[in-house]
Amino acid sequence: MILGIDEVGRGPWAGPLVVGAVVLGDAEIEGLTDSKKLTKKKRDALDILIREKASGFGLGWVPAEEIDEIGLSAALRLATIRAVEQVKTPYNEIIIDGTINFLKETSKGKYVTTLPKADLLIQSVSAASIIAKVARDNYMALQDTIYPGYGFTSHVGYGTATHRTAIEKIGVTPLHRLSFAPLAKYRPEIANTTALKSVVSKKTSKQIGDDAEDIAAKYLRGLGHDILERNWKTKFCEIDVVSLKDQTFYFSEVKYRKTADQGGGLAAITAKKQQQMRFAAEFYASSHNLKAVDLRLVAIATTGQPPIVDAYLEIE
């Protein structure tokens, strides 16, 4: 029962830092290795298997704005802690790829072994590197629809010639890490950047909410869900996302907070709100003639701009 940990996104000029944490347990998955040595098709296939078969997994995200605020070293520690906090499965050893114990200052630090090239040698670390890379790559691909012209799908935020040219032509976005030396000259100008003003400051609350639901739907697809409905509404109730996985229907309420210190989106899922969600799920099942099926309620909290999934909770 090894908890394997690896990070993705340390060096890009744009996008979040993502840390994966996986306990494989008894799961046997062929083909696990360093995610960078796999094709996209193979990574995507393994990502699905890992999420289905692993005893537990978590993803820790730190967006560019937070990286700029606290620095990359602190961001690596924070992302690792966030990933580990999501793993509820018992484990008796922690292996982190590399030479730095990012959990040293926590109660789990004494159980950590650091190992260079662990993503090649330890299967749970390989699995962590794969789910982190797939999640980050998918996220960056989605940014192409929000910030067109940068080519985020192809370079996922790294400092390629194409990316540099786009920045010089269009400017920077909230995805860009202005604390990184190549982009430092843009820091004083961020409030007046044309790209920033056009894609962020003019967004309505509805557009921001739609972005959050887009991210939530993408997250659910990453868990193997088929999205059946978005913003399903009647005069009695509404559901943000209806999805299907393994013959189970999931009804997700998506909550957005600009920053995590606003209480977190899950704080809005009160007992009364849960009751409303149950009514909506039952009404959906009745109106679609679904009989003797498993219905589950889900709360998804998103934060930041652009938003990321901060928490996923199945409600009993």
The residue from 184, 201, 218 where one domain ends is 201
Angle between helical axes of 123-146 and 205-222 (0-180°, round to 10): 150
Residue 266 sits in the same domain as residue 191: no
**What residue type is assigned to position 41 of the chain?**
K
- Strands 308-315 and 294-303, sheet pairing: antiparallel
Whichever domain contains 287, its CATH number is 3.40.1350.10
Whichever domain contains 47, its CATH number is 3.30.420.10
pLDDT at 196 over 60: no
Q: Using pLDDT thresholds of 50, 70 and 90, give the confidence band for residue 259.
A: low
Taking alpha carbons only, the member of 108, 131, 123 closest to residue 2 is 123
Residue 99 sits in the same domain as residue 46: yes
Q: Using pLDDT thresholds of 50, 70 and 90, give the confidence band for residue 205.
A: confident
Residue 171 sits in the same domain as residue 44: no
Residue 192 sits in the same domain as residue 117: no
Q: Supply the pLDDT for residue 266.
A: 60
Residue 55 sits in the same domain as residue 172: no
Residue 29 sits in the same domain as residue 72: yes
The torsion angles phi and psi of 243, rounded to 5 degrees, stand at -140, 165
pLDDT at 72 over 60: yes
Average pLDDT over residues 302-313: 77
Residues 6+ apart with CB under 8 A from 218: 138, 139, 142
Average pLDDT over residues 82-86: 94
Q: Supply the pLDDT for residue 237.
A: 85
Residue 229 sits in the same domain as residue 307: yes
pLDDT, one tens digit per residue, over 107-129 is: 899 999 999 999 999 999 999 99
Distance from C-alpha of 150 to C-alpha of 163, rounded to nearest angstrom: 6
pLDDT, one tens digit per residue, over 89-103 is: 999 999 999 999 999
Strand order in the sheet with 112-115: 56-62, 17-23, 2-8, 93-97, 112-115
Residue 177 sits in the same domain as residue 187: yes
Residue 75 sits in the same domain as residue 122: yes
Residue 66 sits in the same domain as residue 149: no
Residue 301 sits in the same domain as residue 217: yes
pLDDT at 310 over 80: no
The residue from 175, 201, 227 where one domain ends is 201
pLDDT at 57 over 50: yes
Q: Which long-range contacts (CB under 8 A, 24 or more apart) does 142-145 make?
A: 142/214, 142/215, 142/218, 143/15, 143/175, 143/306
Distance from C-alpha of 250 to C-alpha of 227, rounded to nearest angstrom: 9
Domain holding 311, by residue range, is: 205-315
- Strands 238-245 and 248-257, sheet pairing: antiparallel
Q: Supply the pLDDT for residue 4.
A: 98
The residue from 182, 201, 220 where one domain ends is 201
Check if the beta carbon of residue 70 is closer than 8 Å to that of residue 154: no
pLDDT at 154 over 60: yes
Residue 229 sits in the same domain as residue 168: no
Distance from C-alpha of 112 to C-alpha of 114, rounded to nearest angstrom: 6
pLDDT, one tens digit per residue, over 207-252 is: 877 888 998 898 888 888 999 999 998 888 889 999 999 899 999 9
Total domains in the fold of the chain? 3
pLDDT at 200 over 60: no
Average pLDDT value for the chain: 88
Determine what percent of the chain is predicted with pLDDT higher than 90.
66
